[in-house]
Amino acid sequence: MTTERILNAVVVAGLVLFPIWAWMADEPFMITLATKAAILALAGVGLNLALGIGGLVSFGHAAFFGIGGYAMGILASHAQAYDPIFTQPFVFEGSKSMPVIWLTAILASGLAALGIGALSLRTSGVYFIMITLAFGQMLYFFSISWPAYGGEDGLSIYVRNSFPGLNTLDPIQFYGIVLGVLCAVLFLLARLAKSPFGLALGAARQTPLRVETVGISPYRLQLVAFTLSGMITGLAGALFADLNRFVSPVMFSWQTSGEIMVFVIIGGVARLFGPVVGAILFIILEHLLGGLSDYWHIYLGALLLLIVLFARGGVIGTLTGREAAHD
């Protein structure tokens, strides 16, 4: 067992034990914090597929996070108003069921990622960063100016959506759902990283010319990776909206894109658990430093600088002592 695997196991144990402690100590706020960390981790895990394995520095993943959030907001707001979303050519009702909302969020963000990726992947380097940012900002301003779903004020959902057999209003049960989703996605990505697709995608990051020369189009690999990545971040967006029972254009903002990227960089780019560690640290810092100063981001910025300058493998890279994540 490698050091990294032991570390991953410790993280999973913490994700299971901390909320159980909070539940027994009757600290529901701590459970909510853990839930937030797990959801943001999932958003980062989505980005890590594109950024880490694929080398695609997307500065527009808030687009998918927001689409997932609004998928939840739109479905649930129509359901709570007993008002179908549209009636032509067929009746499309809203929904308060999490599995239905998740599926919608995944499909919608996947479609958006396919379109954005198809255009953005024709560029690379700094142009790719800028064009993904531009798409994110387009959706941000669209959400602000669309009055049907709250515009700038966002949308409130009165009751958390339902999951068959569970009471989602109970913090620990909702946390269980979120942790289950996170673990399932991590498991799938662990398989993907070792699969033929993961191998080819990683090679396309390192040497696209070689990949072409063996008859594989790097563009297609990257487009599929970008789409899957958007789907995962979109699912996280739906869960985040459900946690807050509120959706607003902030989910689409470039600061959100930046935060998601910060999770990945702090934890360790291309490490399976990198964004999980990054999101947990982010939430801990926000909680501890946010109590000391409204300007706590300055400390986060300092940490980020230190990591980028001195610890390229992020926290996981530093603790396990191996710089490159690929074996």
Q: How many beta carbons lie within 10 A of that of residue 211, not counting itself?
A: 20
Q: 125, 147, 215, 291: which one contacts other proteins (CB under 8 A)?
A: 215
Q: Are 313 and 268 in contact (CB under 8 A)?
A: yes
Minimum separation from the CB atom of position 202 to other proteins (A):
7
Q: Mention every residue, 6+ apart, whose C-beta is less than 8 A from residue 127.
A: none
Nearer to other proteins by Cβ, of 17 and 199: the residue is 199
Positions in 167-206 near other proteins (CB under 8 A): 191-192, 194-200, 202-203, 206
Distance separating alpha carbons of residues 199 and 185, to the nearest angstrom: 19
Nearer to other proteins by Cβ, of 38 and 270: the residue is 270
Minimum separation from the CB atom of position 211 to other proteins (A):
7
Nearer to other proteins by Cβ, of 169 and 184: the residue is 184
The answer to whether 221 contacts other proteins (rule: CB under 8 A) is: yes
The answer to whether 114 contacts other proteins (rule: CB under 8 A) is: no
Nearer to other proteins by Cβ, of 272 and 283: the residue is 272
The answer to whether 217 contacts other proteins (rule: CB under 8 A) is: yes
Q: How many beta carbons lie within 10 A of that of residue 136, not counting itself?
A: 24
- Residue 2 backbone dihedrals phi, psi, to 5 degrees: -80, 165
Q: 24, 25, 81, 214: which one contacts other proteins (CB under 8 A)?
A: 214
The answer to whether 112 contacts other proteins (rule: CB under 8 A) is: no
Q: Are 63 and 136 in contact (CB under 8 A)?
A: yes
Q: 140-144 long-range CB contacts below 8 Å, 24 or more apart?
A: 140/62, 140/66, 140/249, 140/252, 140/253, 140/254, 143/66, 143/70, 143/249, 143/252, 144/249
The answer to whether 5 contacts other proteins (rule: CB under 8 A) is: no
Parallel, antiparallel, or unpaired for β 246-247 and 155-156? antiparallel
- Scanning 62-70, 105-113, 214-222, 291-299 for contacts with other proteins by CB under 8 A, the matching segment is 214-222
Q: Are 180 and 98 in contact (CB under 8 A)?
A: no
Binding site for other proteins (CB under 8 A): 191-192, 194-200, 202-203, 206-207, 209-217, 221, 224, 324, 326-327
